[in-house]
Structure 1
Amino acid sequence: MLTLARGRRLRTGLSATALAAAALGGLLQPAQAAGDPGPADGGPRHDKRLQQQLDRLVAQDDGPPGVIALLTRGDRTDVYTAGVGDIATGRPPHPDDHMRIASIAKAFSGAVALQLVDQGRLSLDDTIGELLPDQPEVWHAVTLRQLLQHTSGLPDYTTAPEFVEILRADPHHVFDPRTLLDFVAGEPLLFSPGSLYEYSNSDNIAVALMAEAVSGSRYEDLLKDLVYRPLGLRRTSLPLGYQLPRPYLHGYDVLPPAEPEDISEALGASSVWASGGIVSTPNELGAFIRAYGGPTLLSEKTRKEQLTFRPGDSSEPAGPGTNAAGLAIFQYTTRCGVLYGHTGNFPGYTQLAATTPDGTRSLTFSINTQTSKSNKPALLARLRTVQEDFACALLKGH
């Protein structure tokens, strides 16, 4: 996903003020619960150890200003927060805050494509050449299956020099998302399709274009018809601009000793579109992943294909435990059991959404700064440790 490098930070005019120190120093929020009846009538208590994990995460110099984690078990959701969702006001993160879900948007493209497979309008063996003949001929043998599993070999358009220069000159530039692959149209495949795994933002752009080609509908409309409406997602959208719906979880660039810089609206979503542009909320992200990773959204036959995993291939960033790649979904094998889900990172945000295989329990874990293997790897390692503890609480809890 996109990264704002230390040497070329995008200045937004929204730099944090002296309120930042006061907010982070004195407003570590206790865990909140939705549907938690409390100990007086026999309900569960919040896990103090999990809360301490979040408090320590936001207290670190390079840590996020805020974090929110939702543990959903059946009809009960326990909400844990620490720090702030908005430094300027001191407001804590909230389950209905809008936020950039980054590469978890790729799972949404999987939900669209695999439902079209169920409807017989798409096949996992359909190729770029058959459905997108205007794309470079050297890409024509790549299949939908390979795109969904990141074994296509397509070069990643987000690393193309021309694309990067446009964003540097105008971070709010509105791209035509259906031409994003043009930035790498002159490039050969990185490897023979199906032979290797390499995570690429180009893959899910091509998936969305294939879905449009066989349906005759815009990808945005397919999301509404096949995902948002059936799952009751009213606060989830795929914008092209840079503004976020209110209220939102503010995202920050954290580079000590400088104060955190608010970069929530530094970049436009058109630059990543089907690969990372979706905006959702912690509550709705949980509803989505329970459906997509559980057994209710897809047929048994298609789900079997979805859950055919390549061991050792990680999401970006890596999720908790040992990772394996399926079709627009990942398997996270933790010390306490298995979850299915997806992660993502984008300037200002790092995300995890995961579910038990039966779709009855889910974990969403959102921090409001970016971390990945190339951007703050030490923070990512600490984050994955905390996420695994939350995963164990989800898998072991009653």
Structure 2
Amino acid sequence: MSDSSLPSPVIDAPIAFVDLETTGGSVAEHRITEIGVVQIGPSGVSRWSTLVNPGQPIPPFIRSLTGISDDMVRDAPTFASLASELFERLEGRLFVAHNANFDRGFLRGEFQRVGLTFNPDVLCTVKLSRALWPHEKRHGLDALIERHALAPLARHRALADADLLWQFWQRLHGLWPLDVLRAQIDRTVRRYRIAGDITEDMIDAAPAGHGVYAFFDGSDVPLYVGRSVRVRQRVRAHLTGERRSSREIRIAEQVRRVEWRATGGEVGALLTEAQWIGTLRPIHNRQPRFARAEPLGSSWPFDAAVVFEESGEHAPNERMFHVVDRWCYLGAAATLEGALSLVASCGEPVFEPSTFHILQGRLARGLRVMPLVGVAAPADASVD
């Protein structure tokens, strides 16, 4: 299929097929040496490529693989000098790449270094190939060349590999009905455009392990409170995930602000979630049906406030000390000193039915707590 005979549009957005060559596989340590872009839109097809001076030597293995040498990039532009032009080419387009997390990650890192935020919607052609041909074992670019009779101009050069993706895209339109292809692409696209002031960088700051999160709309009305063993991953899935329920999509469309709190473990997450739901009364959460009056047998079994420590397996550094007094959850602190300060700063505890119901069974099953009576501990002290 020639460039002048474009296939029927399977998506409405303009597209950029992108490939990079780099000095290695680490976004933090390595840099881009070549960029290739094939742009598809209402005006047709255009191609753009450039070598990039990475500011570091190209390892011998990479030189052998790509044919790009230190001499070739010595007088090439730096990424900073071409960032604005490239950003303009990619902005507003669906970003299509093979193993797209690699290419997007490198470009996002480079754009970030020059003060630009790069969060395009992304389609990975590896994932798309797996979705359309699940019985096939190989989905690398060489496998696609063989399977779909693609014509490589070269291999491991940026523009040539980007052009292979454009060829693959054209082949798809002759192999699948348009509605099937459109539905599969829609399921495979990962959407990074986040509403309000929420950015990928903000989500990266969320707790890696156990915690609680809350979504708010543009008027700061609480929408939803949830908990997770991996808060960062769960928040990202809520807002940009590929597999979301219709309810999650409705909530995500309204979200303009997110709050979160690390809890270190499951019990702290349960206590915090229940407290936030009771306080915020988010419109998409069911309110727990606990009796407000203290039930029989609910007397506090300790002489003072108690503390228990949690540190989850997914983020062992997110250690937290949780404080409870007379079935009232006072909060959590990163140190035992902080836990003591919580007791000192809180007023008269008020019985919380949710805290009672969450803790009574766990105490019976051996949750280890320590009374906070006359305790004076250094900041790094832990509960034995």
TM-score by length of 2: 0.22
Largest Rg, 1 or 2? 2
Indicate the structure whose relative CO is greater, using CA pairs within 8 Å and at least 6 residues apart.
1
